[in-house]
């Protein structure tokens, strides 16, 4: 591992804290608006060093769109690559993550990729489970396995707030149901989706998830397979091409490592075969990515030459 001292991470957090003031905490989901904007944290997990961290690493936050990486892996495990990508595409989009525009012009009307909201709804639709509880329970079980933390659960306040304000996702879902892309009951699908987004973690949990993906889907301590290697590679590829919403190309150039962000301010990142990284800072930039978190990763990558390219 190239970063060998927590003091180095403490200094990186200190240097990037000023960017917090330039962002804005998400408020379109009312419960997210309660986040403390002054929080900034990073954790790095590697086989050699275990977990190094700095900043407010004990702060809990919800996965939001970071969950899309995990549900994609689970859906492919459940129904296979061919079935998943018969209903959702593989291409990046320059549109916002919650846009309906491309659905109206694509034939068939399937979402461009699994990292935008429409694509993620299709993916959750394909996860096995005859009830919301069974689907979400299986997502949680995967997260428990990847983090080695069985205490991780759902923030009910955030889940309820998301469900009550999910009108755009509801519109996306009904549009896709009309065109035969999803077959679940829409309200059950939205309940499962909002609960997966409201799963609550901290930066250390994110870093360990990243390390499992970096380790080809295997537990970093025991090498026990959790996700098949080919699926880990698929989700890492989507993290590069689509993981930072419609700023993914810029992130790939400036930071140059796989990453997936969420509007709670979390970012899951990794360096293949080397480390998993979890970052948290709630104020977002205009694209919906953590502003200080993004800058922190950019500085980290430059300082330790982490680029995968």
Residue 205's SS3 state is helix
**Can 281 be counted among the known catalytic residues?**
no
Which residues contribute to the annotated binding site?
65, 117, 162, 169, 193, 245, 263
Which residues contribute to the annotated binding site for substrate?
65, 117, 162, 169, 193, 245, 263
Catalytic residue among 19, 245, 280, 304: 245
CA angle at residue 112 from 122 to 235, to 5 degrees? 75
**Can 65 be counted among the known catalytic residues?**
yes
Phi, psi of 292 (to 5 degrees): -70, -35
Catalytic residue among 39, 68, 195, 218: 68
CA distance 130 to 135: 7
**Can 68 be counted among the known catalytic residues?**
yes
Catalytic residue among 122, 158, 263, 279: 263
Catalytic residue among 19, 193, 280, 304: 193
CA angle at residue 83 from 82 to 88, to 5 degrees? 95
**Can 295 be counted among the known catalytic residues?**
no
Extract the tokens encoding 34: 């309660």
CB atoms within 10 A of CB 44: 32
Catalytic residue among 46, 65, 269, 290: 65
* CA distances to 1, 103, 107, 110, 167 from 174, in Å: 47, 12, 17, 13, 10
**Can 263 be counted among the known catalytic residues?**
yes
Residues labelled catalytic: 65, 68, 193, 245, 263
């Amino acid at each position: 591992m190239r970063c060998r001292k927590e003091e180095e991470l403490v200094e990186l957090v200190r240097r990037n804290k000023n960017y917090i003031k330039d962002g804005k905490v998400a408020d379109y989901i009312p419960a997210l608006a309660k986040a403390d904007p002054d929080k900034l944290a990073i954790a790095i997990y590697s086989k050699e060093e275990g977990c190094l961290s700095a900043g407010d690493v004990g702060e809990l936050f919800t996965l939001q769109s970071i969950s899309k990486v995990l549900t994609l892996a689970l859906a492919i495990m459940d129904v296979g690559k061919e079935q998943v990508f018969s209903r959702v595409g593989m291409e990046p989009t320059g549109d916002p993550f919650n846009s309906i525009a491309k659905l109206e012009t694509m034939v068939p009307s399937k979402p461009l990729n699994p990292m935008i909201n429409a694509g993620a709804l299709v993916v959750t639709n394909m996860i096995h489970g005859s009830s919301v509880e069974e689907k979400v329970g299986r997502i949680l079980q995967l997260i428990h396995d990847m983090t080695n933390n069985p205490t991780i659960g759902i923030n009910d306040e955030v889940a309820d707030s998301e469900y009550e304000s999910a009108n755009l996702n509801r519109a996306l879902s009904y549009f896709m149901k009309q065109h035969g892309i999803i077959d679940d009951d829409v309200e059950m699908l939205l309940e499962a989706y909002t609960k997966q987004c409201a799963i609550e973690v901290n930066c250390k949990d994110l870093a360990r998830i990243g390390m499992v993906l970096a380790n080809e889907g295997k537990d970093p301590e025991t090498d026990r397979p959790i996700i098949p290697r080919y699926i880990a590679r698929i989700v890492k590829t989507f993290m590069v091409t689509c993981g930072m919403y419609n700023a993914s190309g810029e992130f790939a150039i400036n930071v140059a490592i796989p990453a997936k962000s969420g509007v709670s301010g979390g970012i899951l990142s990794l360096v293949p075969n080397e480390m998993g990284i979890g970052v948290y800072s709630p104020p977002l930039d205009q694209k919906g990515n953590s502003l200080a978190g993004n800058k922190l990763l950019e500085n980290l990558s430059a300082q330790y030459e982490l680029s995968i390219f």
